[in-house]
């Protein structure tokens, strides 16, 4: 079916015609509105007649910067709206990188855009904000106790920095990746057994003798072979789980599962199983990390490490 002219498309969108009922919504943050040219309550006329509206969003008390919503509307199917939403997310990121300003996408699902039906009323909408806090004396007592703790190795400090900062991330994917990444500095890799090291040395020697291998390929393979002389990060974490959770065989299974999910996200860009709740996976790993820090510093955390 031939496409209608942009003018006709916009007419259908404006009257909320059922044939163009789907839209996609993106929520993003910038530090200052000037970074996006102070665009606010602006409607952009896109190619093929689609419309995109940029309007201010609500920030929580602890957040900084400015939040915006951008709605792209005028699609006949939900899949078209989702594709357009991903294109809009890509455009926002490219614009931020090109103009060199910070931008954060806010979302809770596996993908940045949210698809919605424009013709369905949202009904009555109400929002609220709640938080848990500690009394001032409790904070002072905990801070004084923490000051008395000897300074530990930099690996442990980096892990705690990543873990604490992850809680400030505004979408589930970034929060999950950063929380699981807090495990890596803890995984000090030990040398492999002597017989394994000898076998790798033999392979390196055989590679050196093969003149048919191109130099750049030889260097790459040689470097990867040398890396095999140390245990991998996952092997190191498995070994350390025996120290951190000696009577808990499921601990390594859960940590390894989260580490595999993180690898899948980083290497593929998304998870194959979209039913996985990253929010729950993050909470699960956070419990283990808190117990690890409790073990390393030798005193109980004020908030339960299992909460």
CB 276 within 8 A of CB 257: no
* pLDDT, tens digit, 9 for 90 and up, residues 180-231: 999 999 988 777 677 877 787 777 777 766 667 677 777 777 677 776 767 7
pLDDT at 53: 85
**What is the helix (H) or strand (E) element at residue 239, kind and residue range?**
helix 233-244
Low-confidence ranges of the chain (pLDDT < 50): 1, 307
pLDDT of res. 17: 65
Which of 171, 148, 123, 161 is CA-nearest to residue 278?
Answer: 171
Q: What are residue 28's DSSP bridge partners?
A: 68, 105
**What is the per-residue pLDDT across 118-137, written as a single tens digit (0 to 9) for each?**
777 766 767 776 767 778 88
Predicted pLDDT at 255: 94
Task: Report whether 135 contacts 107 (CB < 8 A).
Answer: no
Cα–Cα dist 15/26, whole Å: 22
- Give the CA radius of gyration of the chain: 26
Q: Which residues of 199-228 are buried (b: 16+ CB within 10 A; e: fewer)?
A: ebeeeeeeeeeeeeeeeeeeeeeeeeeeee
pLDDT on residue 159? 92
């Amino acid at each position: 079916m031939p496409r209608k002219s942009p003018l006709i498309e916009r007419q259908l969108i404006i009257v909320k015609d059922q044939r163009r009922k789907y839209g996609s919504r993106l929520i993003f943050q910038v530090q200052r509105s000037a970074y996006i040219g102070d665009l606010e309550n602006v409607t952009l006329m896109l190619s093929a007649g689609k419309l995109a509206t940029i309007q201010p969003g609500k920030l929580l008390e602890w957040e900084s910067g400015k939040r915006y919503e951008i709605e792209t509307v005028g699609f006949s199917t939900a899949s078209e709206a989702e594709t357009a939403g991903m294109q809009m997310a890509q455009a926002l990121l490219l614009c931020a990188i090109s103009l060199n300003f910070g931008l954060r996408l806010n979302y809770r699902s596996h993908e940045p855009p949210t698809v919605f039906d424009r013709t369905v009323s949202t009904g009555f909408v109400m929002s609220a904000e709640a938080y848990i806090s500690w009394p001032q004396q409790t904070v002072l007592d905990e801070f004084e106790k923490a000051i008395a703790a000897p300074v530990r190795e930099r690996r442990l400090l980096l892990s705690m920095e990543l873990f604490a900062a992850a809680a400030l991330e505004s979408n589930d994917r970034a929060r999950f990746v950063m929380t699981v990444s807090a495990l890596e500095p803890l995984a000090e890799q030990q040398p492999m057994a002597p017989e394994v090291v000898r076998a790798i040395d033999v392979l390196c020697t055989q590679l050196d003798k093969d003149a048919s291998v191109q130099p750049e390929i030889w260097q790459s393979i040689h470097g990867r072979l040398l890396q095999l002389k140390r245990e991998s990060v996952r092997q190191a974490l498995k070994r350390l789980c025996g120290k951190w959770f000696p009577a808990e065989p499921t601990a390594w299974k859960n940590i390894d599962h989260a580490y595999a999910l993180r690898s899948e996200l980083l290497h593929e860009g998304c998870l194959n199983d979209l039913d996985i709740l990253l929010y729950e996976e993050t909470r699960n790993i956070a419990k283990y990390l808190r117990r690890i820090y409790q073990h390393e510093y030798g005193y109980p955390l004020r908030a339960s490490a299992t909460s």
